[in-house]
Amino acid sequence: MAHSWDILDCRGGYVLLCNVDQSSAQAMAVVNPLARQCRLFDYLHVDTFEGCHGTAAELNACLLCSEEEPASFRVVHLAYDESGVRATVFSSDTCEWKVHPWVDVPGRPRRSKSWLLNSSMQSNGFLYWVYKNYKYMVTLNTATMEFSAEELPQFLKNRCCSFSVGETNNDGDGTEKWMLDRATPLDAQLDGVLRKQKCNYDELLVVAVRNGFVYLATSNKISDSANPSWFLSLCLETMKLENLFQRTYDGAAQPYVMAWPPCLVANNGSSPLDAGMKCIKCLQRRKERI
């Protein structure tokens, strides 16, 4: 059994891992580092590619967690062939894989057998995968397990464009659609955050969107070990850019957000920081009265 594991996704305090040796028994794992818990299970179902048309392939699995049931999780694996897609889902409740039917999707490039990009994008119970030609995006509703495919807006149909999915917009009549919310230049903030090091990089890539923050990474089109990438965060509420750390970036990174341990959460669900701030304000008021 190989001792090398790849991180595929991070959600709700859990980490989804895949053994490099996928043929070994129990080649996938979901780990909760804070609770020091690990669930091992087999890689895929034997019937994942059954009934495919032509050449079939697979993408990295995605992890689904629920705030309502924090002890449970699901792992969604996407397979695709020359005409459609299929979802295979592992549930921590049943400890089994469930294979869903093949579904045809529009806009697939006819001359390409590998036509979907790897992705761990998800938002509000939906998973997203982008076509390699950047014309369409496949969406999976994880509540109903129904697929759909939508054409990307014109400003995203660009191979040089780096983006990730956050919240969807609603136009008020019950129809979801793509809308340009705002455009914010980052040159001035990059000057302030990176200073003289800014000239060492020629790309700014979107790594992920989590909890109202966009995680970014600087990059070079030509690999340069002397200038490791800077990882930055952009708050979508304030549009303030901050640098986090610097390290080598190979195009694969996952933000890991830990929840407060139950013993540190107040009865009303607030964090210790919130409770502490309320206590400080209360003491200040008592001091003023004295």
Give the pLDDT mean for 173-192.
Answer: 78
Residue at 153: amino acid letter = P
Whole-angstrom CA distances from 81 to 59, 112, 114, 116, 164 are: 11, 10, 8, 10, 24
pLDDT tens column, 212-235 = 899 999 987 666 667 889 999 999
108 token code pair: 């697939």
Q: What pTM did the predictor assign?
A: 0.81
Confidence of residue 261 (pLDDT cuts 50, 70, 90): low
Where residue 208 falls (left for φ over 0; alpha for ψ -120 to 50; beta otherwise) is beta
What are the backbone angles phi and psi of residue 190, rounded to the nearest 5°? -65, -35
DSSP labels for 183-240?
----HHHHHHHHGGGGGG--EEEEEEEETTEEEEEEE-SS--TTSPEEEEEEETTT--
Confidence of residue 1 (pLDDT cuts 50, 70, 90): very low
Per-residue pLDDT at 145: 95
